[in-house]
Structure 1
Amino acid sequence: MDTILPRKNNKNKYLFIALPLFLVFGFLVYSSVTKKRSLNVKRAEITIKTVENNFFEDFIVFQAKVTPLNSILINITEGGAVQEIYVENGAMVKKGQALARLYNPNTELNYMQQETAIIEQINNLNKSKLDLRNQELNLAKDLIAIEHDYLDSKNLYDLNKKLFEQEILSKNEWEKTVENLRFQKERMKIIKESVTKEKRANQIQIGQLNQSIAFMDKSLGILRTNKQHFLISAPLSGRLSSFEPILGKTYIQGLSIGTIDVMKGYKLLADVDEFYLNKITDGQKGTVDFNGKPIRVQITKVIPEIKSGRFVVELNFTSSESLNLQQGLSFGVKLNLSEKTKTVVLSKGSFYEETNGKWIFVVNGSKGERRAIKLGKENPLYYEVLGGLKAGEKVITSSYKDYKRAEILNLE
């Protein structure tokens, strides 16, 4: 009889062989996934800085130009073509000094016509006033003649009265004498009243004529003054700037062709990036370097209008020291935004452009290890370190453009 032999099970055999292989493969995959990506970098190609425990102050630096404290524009009152130029740009001028002359034939003719019309009106008014004066003179002459007639009749009355009392003069002649005296008396009374009324009326008319003449004279004076506007004069004493008229060129009324800077003090004007608009206010103090010395300045005006991403700031010198300044000089203004405080600081560098201040490579021996950090305020020199770094540690601050994916830098 045949014996039945048990069949060998190869399943366990294959399992024992595959398990180690699987474990090795899993280890290799895990290692490849968890292994930190490294990159070899030459030390000469990077910048290494030491984290410091130092004084930090929030400040900004911007450029400002020296301008006169006060200026006045030179405006054209009457438009015309430039006929003559008497001074050059940059010259010191006195108030009322002639700067240039314009010419406009149409306006000149119009002024002449207006001047002729006004003079004619003034002459007519003066003639009317003269007629009233002559009328008064004629009334005065008439009054003198009437008074003379009255005196003659009075003298005749006195003489005839005596003759009548002596019965030398007839009654009929006496009655004529009495009637003549009464007539002359009444006549003189009426004429006097008329002359008085006429004089009063004439005085009122003459007063009105005088007012009209005065008004016309004033108009004529203004007109003649306006004619002088073709001559551009300095409104104040000072230095002439931005004054560049061109002979023959026509300038319209109201246009500004220059500025006079009053040479009594200077101020600073600066265009500042709009990023700092909410950080800058009136009264903030700063310094500028003048001939190697720090000079104190203070913000006096912030003009919040944004143009091309910038706004204007005015600053005044607060130092009592006399400064030999010139218009157009440029200064770097250091404006303090906070007081000095001692804290952990990190020198500024190009690394920030790639990391936005969230991580950095910390140098540990021959390696640079990636580490998360937290930065706070900044100034042109430092970042304020809020976490992730300690004073004395060394970090790489140069550009990370080629290292963004690396986690470890092998420094050679």
Structure 2
Amino acid sequence: MRMHAPESLRLSSQEGASAVSGAAMDRALPQPPTWLRYSKHAVLTALVLGAAFVAWRQPVPTRVVDSPRLAEVKFGQFRDEVALRARVEPVRSFQLDAIEAGRVEAVFVKDGDLVNAGDPLYRLQSGEMEQQLLARRAEVAQQLANVSIERSAQAASLAQNRRVLLQLEADFHTADSRYRRTRKLAEAGYVSAIDFEDIELRRETSAELLEQVRRDQREEARIRQVSIEEMARAVEQLQYGLAALERAQERLDRNAPMAGRLTGFQVREGASVSPGDRMGRIDDPDGGVQFVAEIDEYYLSRLSNGMEATSNLGMLKVTQVLPDVRDGKARAVLQQAEPSAVTQLRPGQSVDIQLQMGDAVPALLVPDGPGVQSTLYVREGDELHRRTVRLGRRGTGYVEVLGGLRAGDVVLTSEPPSNAERLALP
């Protein structure tokens, strides 16, 4: 049974709850003035702008160049030269490339030896070539035997045909003689027409048979002759192949094709050799030497025969320009006017040369370096400032200045650490 509290008791309970929560003490405060609210926003904006201005005014740290290489721009004679390194090569040489495949059976010389033309160098052994040679010889012998058999059969057939032909010719002459005699008697009425027709028919049959046998014999003789000629040509081809194999077997014994000095000869007994393998080279010591230099393809259009170059061996001249470009490099062949001055040089040595691309002319010069580009750094006090300049030809250690620099300017020739507008010196 649910009990209800008196009304007075419920009122007293509500008053106590209000006193405990403090809700009766809350009241609305008045709004601040409008000018005060906007002044707070203005102060915050001014603080942010002030901080940004201070950060903008603060100087950016300058990158310091470690171990800079500086050079002064000066007037001088621009020598249009290119520094090259040339390799010494013989004027006359013969490359020893393997022609046949096989295994090295014997070696008769060693690297560096002087050899005469015809001297044995090495010998190869090839079991496969020996088998091919035996098989080809057997084929030639078999084909020769077949030709002999065919010619014997042809001779026998011709003899038989002659005998048959003689017999048929005799039969024809007999029939013809009888026909001639009988015709006169038939014309005189002594032989009946039926008998004469029979005699005439035998004569015609004998003549046709004789002519047919002659045609058949001529055709048979022609066919046999063609067959024998084809077999003879086959024998010639087999003999040609046999001769080629025999020559290849002879090439297994490699001899020196010319007199000279062996270079790069590294043939060892027991080694396997394939056609095209480089076996070495024979250099003619009396033929002199030449110099082969690689030059950047940038200069290819300016290269020509007759250009001069200086070296510690004296004056050199370009005798040949090899225009094929490999890895960005072209090649030039140079020779010296006095070969006696370079007799001590050996193929494979290197020589430093200065190739003269043009005459010396006065110009504003700056020493060459990785930092000397169309945009470089010029010294101003203790700093380096980036500047755009115009550069011309590059010579031996120097670059021609066409604009953007003056005599006396100091520039950074080494690689700059960055592409900033300013760099600091240590």
Query: Could you state the TM-score of these two structures normalised by the residue count of structure 2?
Result: 0.57
Mapped to 2, the partners of 1:154 and 1:375 lie a distance apart of 118
Deviation at 1:266, TM superposition (A): 4.9
Mapped to 1, the partners of 2:250 and 2:380 lie a distance apart of 73
Mapped to 1, the partners of 2:277 and 2:315 lie a distance apart of 41
Structure 1 residue 198 corresponds to structure 2 residue 226: no
Mapped to 1, the partners of 2:145 and 2:165 lie a distance apart of 30
Q: Which residue of the partner structure matches residue 361 of structure 2?
A: 341
Mapped to 2, the partners of 1:342 and 1:388 lie a distance apart of 13
Deviation at 1:103, TM superposition (A): 0.6
Q: Which residue of the partner structure matches residue 139 of structure 1?
A: 161
Mapped to 1, the partners of 2:311 and 2:224 lie a distance apart of 79
Considering fraction of residues, name the structure with more strand: 1
Q: Which residue of the partner structure matches residue 82 of structure 2?
A: 60
Deviation at 1:220, TM superposition (A): 2.4
Summarize deviations over 1:141-170 as a string: whole Å, max 9, x none. Answer: 433454456667778999999999xxxxxx
Look up the equivalent residue of 2:160 and give its one-letter code: N
Change (3 A) 1:190 1:50: closer
Mapped to 1, the partners of 2:204 and 2:394 lie a distance apart of 116
Look up the equivalent residue of 1:342 and give its one-letter code: P
Mapped to 2, the partners of 1:109 and 1:137 lie a distance apart of 43
Structure 1 residue 269 corresponds to structure 2 residue 289: no
Mapped to 2, the partners of 1:123 and 1:360 lie a distance apart of 102
Look up the equivalent residue of 1:101 and give its one-letter code: R
Change (3 A) 1:322 1:152: farther
Change (3 A) 1:187 1:334: same
Change (3 A) 1:198 1:332: same
Deviation at 1:195, TM superposition (A): 1.8
Structure 1 residue 101 corresponds to structure 2 residue 123: yes
Q: Check the 8 A contact 1:65/1:330 in 2, yes or no.
A: yes
Q: Which residue of the partner structure matches residue 8 of structure 2?
A: none
Mapped to 1, the partners of 2:153 and 2:200 lie a distance apart of 39
Look up the equivalent residue of 1:268 and give its one-letter code: F
Structure 1 residue 213 corresponds to structure 2 residue 235: yes
Deviation at 1:183, TM superposition (A): 6.8
Deviation at 1:101, TM superposition (A): 1.6
Q: Which residue of the partner structure matches residue 406 of structure 2?
A: 387
Mapped to 1, the partners of 2:134 and 2:86 lie a distance apart of 51
Q: Check the 8 A contact 1:60/1:379 in 2, yes or no.
A: yes
Aligned pairs (5 A) from 1:324-335: 324=340, 325=342, 327-328=346-347, 329-335=349-355
Change (3 A) 1:299 1:250: same
Look up the equivalent residue of 1:336 and give its one-letter code: Q
> SS of the counterpart of 2:270?
coil
**1:304 pairs with 306, 317, 325, which one?**
325
Worse overlay, 125-134 or 197-206: 125-134
> SS of the counterpart of 1:111?
helix
Q: Check the 8 A contact 1:136/1:198 in 2, yes or no.
A: no
Q: Check the 8 A contact 1:75/1:254 in 2, yes or no.
A: yes
Q: Check the 8 A contact 1:269/1:312 in 2, yes or no.
A: no
Summarize deviations over 1:5-27 as a string: whole Å, max 9, x none. Answer: xxxxxxxxxxxxxxxxxxxxxxx
Q: Which residue of the partner structure matches residue 76 of structure 1?
A: 98
Mapped to 2, the partners of 1:357 and 1:295 lie a distance apart of 39
Query: Could you state the TM-score of these two structures normalised by the residue count of structure 1?
Result: 0.59
Summarize deviations over 1:239-286 as a string: whole Å, max 9, x none. Answer: 6532321122122333221235577675422355xxx44245462533
Q: Check the 8 A contact 2:96/2:278 in 1, yes or no.
A: yes
> SS of the counterpart of 1:248?
coil
Mapped to 2, the partners of 1:177 and 1:383 lie a distance apart of 121
Deviation at 1:191, TM superposition (A): 2.8
Look up the equivalent residue of 2:219 and give its one-letter code: K
Q: Which residue of the partner structure matches residue 222 of structure 1?
A: 244
Change (3 A) 1:357 1:289: farther
Look up the equivalent residue of 1:323 and give its one-letter code: P
Larger Rg: 2
Deviation at 1:67, TM superposition (A): 1.6
Mapped to 2, the partners of 1:360 and 1:131 lie a distance apart of 111
Structure 1 residue 295 corresponds to structure 2 residue 321: no
Summarize deviations over 1:272-308 as a string: whole Å, max 9, x none. Answer: 5xxx4424546253314365x32322560255333xx
Mapped to 1, the partners of 2:359 and 2:380 lie a distance apart of 28
> SS of the counterpart of 2:351?
strand
Q: Which residue of the partner structure matches residue 323 of structure 1?
A: 339
Q: Which residue of the partner structure matches residue 13 of structure 1?
A: none
Q: Check the 8 A contact 2:76/2:362 in 1, yes or no.
A: yes
Where do 5+ consecutive residues of structure 2 fail to align?
1-70, 187-194, 414-423
Summarize deviations over 1:97-132 as a string: whole Å, max 9, x none. Answer: 653221122442243234323432343244234323
Aligned pairs (5 A) from 1:23-172: 53-69=75-91, 73-89=95-111, 91-94=114-117, 98-147=120-169
Considering fraction of residues, name the structure with more helix: 2
Aligned length: 326
Where do 5+ consecutive residues of structure 1 fail to align?
1-48, 165-172, 362-368, 398-403, 407-412
Q: Check the 8 A contact 1:358/1:375 in 2, yes or no.
A: no
Q: Check the 8 A contact 2:140/2:235 in 1, yes or no.
A: no
Q: Which residue of the partner structure matches residue 332 of structure 2?
A: 314
> SS of the counterpart of 2:317?
strand
